[in-house]
């Protein structure tokens, strides 16, 4: 055989195979406006190769020819022998087309669909395909007829581009339910410098595999379960299985039986995403050493296949940081500690306010039952030197004004209430005994004054025997004193208040609050008259 003959035979074979692939035998054809389209007659083997026959293309209605089509009839429509091409199809191309060659004819009815501006494809032009889940999903974007003009091929899923390539492209994957959708292959053609699109859309439906499928257990092949000894454990084995598949637990050791392990008779079945699921529970009561590090196997099986999953119990490491329960516990306890610390700090800072508020709330009164007459004995400079005018005014005016008139306390003020003369020291002693607090207004001159000696024994008694509580009000910082009664140095610092006239005008000021805190709790009767504060020596 000559090479030429061989070549021609080969060519003929190719032409034959391709022409058979892409000729159009359907009668009714939907086509979208604006895209290239062609009609090609499928030659019968008889007519094939008969070159002497003349070919006629026409747009027709039944047997009635409306217009003959020839290469000159329209720039959009081209005719080459068995093929009629539209570049592109337009709405007015709708109608019947007839091919005639000898006594052989073929007719197609073309239905041109208007383009939907909001979609990349037309719903009337989709090819539906069903793919079983887990089976191969193949989308092949290949157009052999227009291949020589293709400049770019893009794949869209639900009109969103997912891939792009030059001549052709394809997508293969294991079908999942989420793969369902419309896949459009858009071929961009360039012909004579003009750009055309050809769209081919597949409506892919993912369905359940109707044939019996191999059952599969869900989750990893080996599962580690952290347990504590003595705890009850429930192992849940779930499978994707057919109705009649068998699922069971196996947990027998040779020559060993577990009395604390039971397989639940009831199986749970449910359908999710169209698939049948089944789960079976293994209960282990009071886990013991023998249950640890042993394979509890779950098996699902049918005639075709078997799947096994193992569960291994491990002793829980209680300090395991990765353990979420432990972590949560840690976080909660840290938070609680922080909250407690904050609360304590707040309580310390606002101790005075809290105590005063509590006293107010409870209406507490410590003064009712102790049989004492005065709430406080006020001691300060006895001799009224002109340079001590400020202390005098404080002790005789400010203090009573606030404590007596405003807060309803009863004070015994040496200077005011004790008539000069008489057995002063005895008097002081008995008055202090009748008082609940001893308020000392401390100033420089106080120290040098003889009152100091009178009070020294009282102070000593008060501090050492804790008979009376002392409140020290400083006019001058104690550190300035060169000589301080020794007993005063024993005084706790919170019992020392510093008087700063300019800051302490309001009843709500810190100074008065602190003073009230040190004073005995008493139901406050504001605005109590002076009449109750009788001169001490006139009392019986």
Ligand X SMILES: *[C@@H]1O[C@H](CO)[C@@H](O)[C@H](O)[C@H]1NC(C)=O
**Binding interface with ligand X (CB under 6 A):** 50, 52-53, 102-103, 123, 126, 128, 151, 154, 186, 188, 190, 195, 197, 203, 205, 218, 236, 238, 250, 254-255, 268, 279, 281, 295, 297, 308, 310
CB of 4 to ligand X, least distance (A): 22
281 neighbors 251 (Cβ within 8 angstroms): no
Write out the H or E segment, with its range, that includes residue 509. none
Q: Largest alpha-carbon pair distance within the chain?
A: 161
Q: Output b/e per residue, 169-184; b: 16+ Cβ within 10 A.
A: bebeeebeeebbbbbb
User: Closer to ligand X at the Cβ: 52 or 259?
Assistant: 52
Q: What is the CA radius of gyration of the chain?
A: 53
Min dist. Cβ of residue 28 to ligand X (A): 16
Q: Please state, in angstroms and rounded to a whole number, the distance separating the CA atoms of residues 146 and 198.
A: 9
Helices and strands of the chain, counted as H and E runs = 10, 29
Alpha carbons 145 and 166: distance in angstroms, whole number: 16
DSSP state of 521: P
248 vs 326, beta carbon nearer ligand X: 248
Comparison of 198 and 428: residue with beta carbon closer to ligand X: 198
- Which residues, at least 6 apart from 498, have a Cβ–Cβ distance to it below 8 Å? 473, 474, 477, 511
**Cβ proximity to ligand X, 159 vs 355, nearer residue:** 159
Residue 293 or 509 with smaller CB distance to ligand X: 293
What kind and span of H or E run contains 14? helix 3-22
Q: How far is the CB of 241 from ligand X (least distance, A)?
A: 13
> Least distance to ligand X from the beta carbon of 256, Å?
8
Q: Closest distance between ligand X and the C-beta of residue 187, in Å?
A: 9
Residue closer to ligand X (CB basis): 167 or 452: 167
Give 283's strand partners.
234, 262
Residues with Cβ within 8 Å of 149's Cβ and at least 6 positions away in sequence, in order, are 189, 190, 191, 196
Cβ distance to ligand X smaller for residue 309 or 367: 309
Determine contact, residues 432/468, Cβ cutoff 8 Å.
yes
Burial readout 343-381 (b: 16 or more C-beta within 10 A, e: otherwise): eeeeeeeeebeebbeebeeeeeeebeeeeeebbbbbbbb
Cα separation, 347 vs 351, whole angstroms? 5
Taking the complex as a whole, the smallest distance from the CB of residue 173 to ligand X amounts, in Å, to 19
Q: Closest distance between ligand X and the C-beta of residue 198, in Å? A: 9
Which residues does the annotation mark as catalytic?
Answer: 454
Beta-carbon contacts of residue 443 (< 8 Å; ≥ 6 apart): 380, 381, 388, 391, 475, 476
């Amino acid at each position: 055989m000559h090479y030429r003959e061989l070549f021609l035979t080969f060519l003929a074979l190719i032409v034959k195979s391709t022409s058979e692939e892409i000729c159009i035998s359907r009668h009714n054809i939907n086509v979208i406006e604006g895209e290239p389209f062609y009609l090609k007659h499928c030659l019968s083997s008889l007519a094939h190769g008969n070159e002497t026959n003349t070919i006629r293309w026409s747009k027709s209605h039944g047997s009635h020819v409306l217009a003959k089509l020839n290469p000159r009839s329209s720039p959009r429509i081209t005719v080459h022998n068995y093929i009629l091409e539209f570049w592109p199809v337009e709405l007015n191309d709708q109608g019947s087309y007839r091919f005639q060659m000898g006594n052989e004819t073929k007719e197609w009815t073309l239905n041109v669909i208007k383009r939907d501006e909001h979609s990349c494809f037309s719903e009337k032009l989709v090819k539906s395909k069903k793919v079983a889940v887990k089976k191969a999903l193949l989308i092949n974007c290949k157009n052999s007829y227009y291949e020589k003009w293709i400049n770019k091929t893009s794949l869209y899923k639900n009109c969103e581009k997912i891939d792009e390539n030059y001549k052709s492209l394809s997508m293969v994957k294991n079908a999942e339910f989420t793969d369902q959708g419309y896949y459009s292959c858009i071929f961009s053609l360039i012909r004579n410098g003009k750009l055309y699109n050809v769209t081919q859309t597949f409506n892919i439906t993912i369905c359940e595999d109707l044939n019996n499928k191999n059952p599969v257990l869900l989750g990893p092949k080996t599962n580690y379960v952290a347990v504590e000894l003595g705890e009850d454990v429930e192992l849940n084995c779930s499978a994707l299985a057919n109705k009649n598949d068998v699922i069971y637990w196996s947990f027998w050791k040779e020559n060993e039986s577990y009395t604390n392990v039971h397989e639940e008779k009831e199986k749970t079945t449910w359908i999710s995403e169209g698939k049948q699921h089944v789960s079976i529970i293994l209960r282990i009561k009071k886990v013991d050493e023998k249950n640890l590090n042993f394979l509890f196997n779950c098996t699902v099986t049918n005639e075709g296949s078997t799947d096994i999953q193992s569960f291994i119990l491990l002793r829980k490491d209680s300090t395991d940081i990765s353990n979420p329960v432990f972590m949560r516990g840690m976080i909660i306890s840290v938070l609680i500690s922080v909250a407690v610390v904050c609360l304590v700090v707040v309580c310390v800072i606002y101790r005075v306010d809290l105590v005063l508020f509590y006293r107010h709330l409870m209406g507490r009164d410590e003064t009712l039952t102790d049989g004492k007459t005065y709430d406080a004995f006020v001691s300060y400079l006895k001799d009224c030197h002109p340079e001590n005018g400020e202390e005098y005014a404080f002790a005789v005016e400010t203090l009573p004004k606030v404590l007596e008139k405003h807060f309803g306390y009863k004070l015994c003020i040496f200077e005011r209430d004790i008539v000069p003369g008489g057995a002063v020291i005895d008097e002081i002693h008995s008055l202090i005994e009748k008082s609940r607090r001893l308020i000392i207004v401390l100033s420089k001159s106080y120290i040098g004054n003889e009152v100091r000696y009178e009070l020294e024994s009282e102070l000593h008694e008060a501090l050492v025997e804790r008979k009376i509580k002392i409140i020290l009000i400083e006019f001058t910082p104690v550190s300035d004193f060169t000589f301080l009664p020794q007993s005063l140095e024993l005084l706790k610092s919170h019992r020392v208040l510093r008087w700063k006239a300019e800051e302490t005008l309001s009843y709500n000021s810190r100074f008065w609050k602190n003073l009230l805190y040190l004073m005995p709790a008493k139901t406050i009767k504001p605005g109590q008259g002076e009449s109750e504060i009788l001169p001490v020596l006139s009392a019986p």
